Chain A
Amino acid sequence: GAVVSQHPSRVICKSGTSVKIECRSLDFQATTMFWYRQFPKKSLMLMATSNEGSKATYEQGVEKDKFLINHASLTLSTLTVTSAHPEDSSFYICSARDQLAKNIQYFGAGTRLSVL
């Protein structure tokens, strides 16, 4: 099956620093990737849609200046949490939509962010 690699799996940072999370589709091309956030014992919430070569589309209530998304190639999207604060601590998960099988999203393993 298709593989999506997400890195790092866990990151601990100090308040005020920025953290970058990478999402790569390893064996397929993905013009569209998605970023989700999951709080403990909760469901996943869509944060934004990342489109290769264009600006990301953010869901209502998600600060685009706080969560910077870049999708510079057909296999890589990055999420940068800028000036992180403890309330940004969460589990972040990316998914990539297969360019050929357009109704299927494959998920990365997630990144646990802890902001001290």
Chain B
Amino acid sequence: AQTVTQSQPEMSVQEAETVTLSCTYDTSESNYYLFWYKQPPSRQMILVIRQEAYKQQNATENRFSVNFQKAAKSFSLKISDSQLGDTAMYFCAFASYSGGGADGLTFGKGTHLIIQP
């Protein structure tokens, strides 16, 4: 079974600063996917960024980027130029790969990110 660990229950930074959220995972599989999801107070899960394990290049989506260290089983999220709208719970998630695609997600406990004005 896979496990996902987020060691920062809460983080607070000033608007426009850069913040990094940590995530480590444990698996014996070689082919899998990793995700960061954002859950604002509305509780709608929003995909922030995804990474395929077989890709060495770190994924980037505008202000969001990851540092994927496969050997260390680490998958941190960096948010640059943070904005008030980034305030939310952030979940790191793991999915095994089956023939049909990504399986159901295993989530970490989440990090509550607060962006201060």
Tell me whether B109 and A42 are in contact (CB under 8 A): yes
How many residue pairs bridge A and B at CB < 8 Å?
60
Bound together, the chains give a CA A34 to CA B98 distance in angstroms of 14
**Which A residues are CB-close (under 8 A) to B101?**
32, 97, 102-103
Q: Please give, as numbers and ranges, the residues of chain A lying within 8 Å of B106 by CB-CB distance.
A: 46
A110, B95: Cβ atoms closer than 8 Å: no
* Stretch in B15-23, B37-45, B70-78 with 4+ CB within 8 Å of A: B37-45
Digit string of B28-53 for contact with A (CB within 8 Å is 1, else 0)? 00000100010000111111001010
Q: Is the interface of B mostly helix, strand, loop or mixed?
A: strand
Residues of B within 8 A of A103 (CB): 33, 50, 52, 95, 97, 101-102
**Given the complex, which residues of A lie within 8 Å of B109, measured CB to CB?**
42-43
B81 at the interface (CB under 8 A from A): no
- Considering only residues 54-111 of chain B, those with a C-beta below 8 Å from chain A are 91, 95, 97, 100-110
Asked whether any CB of chain B lies closer than 8 Å to the CB of A114, the reply is no
If over half of A's interface residues share one DSSP class (helix, strand or loop), that class is named, otherwise mixed; here it is strand
- Chain B interface: which size bin? 20 to 34
Q: Does A72 contact B (CB under 8 A)?
A: no
Given contacts A97-B102, A103-B33, A104-B50, contact A43 B45 (CB under 8 A): no
Partner of B43, one of A91, A95, A102: A91
A24-59 Cβ-contact flags toward B at 8 Å (1 or 0): 000000011010101000111110010000000001
Q: In the docked arrangement, what's the CA distance between A54 and B91, Å?
A: 30
A31 touches B104 (CB 8 A): no
Residues of A in contact with B (beta carbons under 8 Å apart): 31-32, 34, 36, 38, 42-46, 49, 59, 91, 93, 95, 97, 102-107, 109-110
Question: Which 7 A-B pairs have CB atoms at the shortest separation, nearest pair first?
Answer: A102-B101, A107-B45, A46-B104, A103-B102, A43-B107, A34-B104, A44-B107
| B residues neighboring A (CB under 8 Å) | 33, 37, 42-47, 50, 52, 91, 95, 97, 100-110
Q: Can you offer 14 A-B residue contacts whose CB atoms are under 8 A?
A: A42-B109, A43-B108, A45-B107, A49-B104, A93-B43, A93-B45, A95-B45, A102-B100, A102-B102, A103-B102, A104-B50, A104-B102, A105-B102, A107-B44
